[in-house]
Amino acid sequence: MFNKINVKTFVKRFDYTLLGLVLALTSIGAVALPSVVDTMNSGPSIIKTQMFSIALGLILCIGFSILDYSFLRYWGIAFYIIGILMLIYVIPFGYGRDDPNIGSNSWIRLFGAFSFQPSELMKVAYMMFLPSQFELLKEEFSLKRLIFIAVFGLMPIGLIMLQPDLGTATVFAFSFAVLIFVYGIKYRYLLISIGVLAASLPIAWLFLDDWQKDRIRVFIDPNFDPSGAGYQTSKSIIALGSGGWTGAGLYNGIRTQSNGIPVKESDFIFSAIGEEMGFLGCAAIIILAFAIIIRCIHIASKCSSYYGQYIVAGMAAMIAFHFIENIGMNIELMPVTGIPLPFVSAGGTNMIGSFAMIGIIISASIRRDQVKRL
């Protein structure tokens, strides 16, 4: 079931550029995070978890790059089913909805101290399974399979909305839309899908908590409740504006060190970096993020198999949307949804999942000439 590649070929074709870009971005987060959490009681624990997650994520990244990515098409359905079961379980038995910094039952706690977010692991499983179905649809189109893809593509989105976690649901919806675009679906089906999505928006609105609705209202009207629902973005903008070109320096940001930036270790770490590392620090993050996505698009374009094209494009879309949404909500261009900044924000599950996806993308790059299904 594996397409064997000798060590010489693996070393020669390994995508050092992509891994280097990811490690450079991770380094910025690793340097900034100790300063960002320095005044938090949970700071030492956050740093410890982050370093462990980076190490484990890097191991998984290398491990997945060694494995033939085509192998994942056969295990994708198993991982998908496990992911669906976890998403079902977390709705009644998860935790987080009573936490003002989370607001949704999106976490599972194991063995007392260890916890993880099933939707983050589901992102990887989702992008193992769906590309294989689009590949089969490409080889032989049928309305039955198209409906199958629609049902199983939308099911995780619906379950995540029930938590309710609008931000993560939007990540899945965006990546699903990108897969549809890359596949090249006929316009009439695309228009039907857009119509169904538009019709479902009022229903989705009903599942949102009042604070989530207020965040959307603040995005539409920034002057709506500036001391309440708009508090996070207003503090974020002030911190970014005070950073100037080079920032106040690590451990010297007034708002960062006084905990004036909400969720500064995760959702709004971009603003904290902006205050302490300035425009140059923020620009470095944006340039590296852009370069990572462009590199992924290049890899997708070079893959000879449909599965390779779809899995790389889908995973790149997930990572790209995280960049767009997180940075966008920090500068009031996107609604606040609690989406972390990949490879920078504190968050073990997201860090591990993101590195795993990069490893799969590198595997596809190494085996880009592979055409036949194994």
Q: How do residues 71-121 score in pLDDT, each as one tens digit?
A: 898 888 999 999 999 999 998 888 776 666 666 778 887 766 677 888 988
| 255 in a structural domain | no
| 146 in a structural domain | yes
- What pLDDT sits at residue 1? 43
| 40 in a structural domain | yes
- What pLDDT sits at residue 53? 95
- What pLDDT sits at residue 234? 73
| 324 in a structural domain | yes
| 235 in a structural domain | no
- What pLDDT sits at residue 21? 97
Which residues of the chain have a pLDDT value below 50? 1-2, 374
| 201 in a structural domain | yes
pLDDT in tens, 152-181: 999 999 999 888 888 888 899 999 989 998
| SS3 of the chain | CCCCCCHHHHHHHCCHHHHHHHHHHHHHHHHHHHHHCCCCCCHHHHHHHHHHHHHHHHHHHHHHHHCCHHHHHHHHHHHHHHHHHHHHHHHHHCECCCCCCCCCCCEEEECCCEEECHHHHHHHHHHHHHHHHHHHHHHCCCHHHHHHHHHHHHHHHHHHHCCCCHHHHHHHHHHHHHHHHHHCCCHHHHHHHHHHHHHHHHHHHHHCCHHHHHHHHHHHCCCCCCCCCCHHHHHHHHHHHHCCCCCCCCCCCHHHHCCCCCCCCCCCHHHHHHHHHHHHHHHHHHHHHHHHHHHHHHHHHHCCCHHHHHHHHHHHHHHHHHHHHHHHHHCCCCCCCCCCCCCCCCCHHHHHHHHHHHHHHHHHHHCCCCCCCC
What is the extent of the structural domain holding 69?
Answer: 7-207+297-366
- What pLDDT sits at residue 238? 86
| 76 in a structural domain | yes
Its pTM stands at 0.88
- What pLDDT sits at residue 109? 79
| 88 in a structural domain | yes
What is the tally of structural domains in the chain? 1
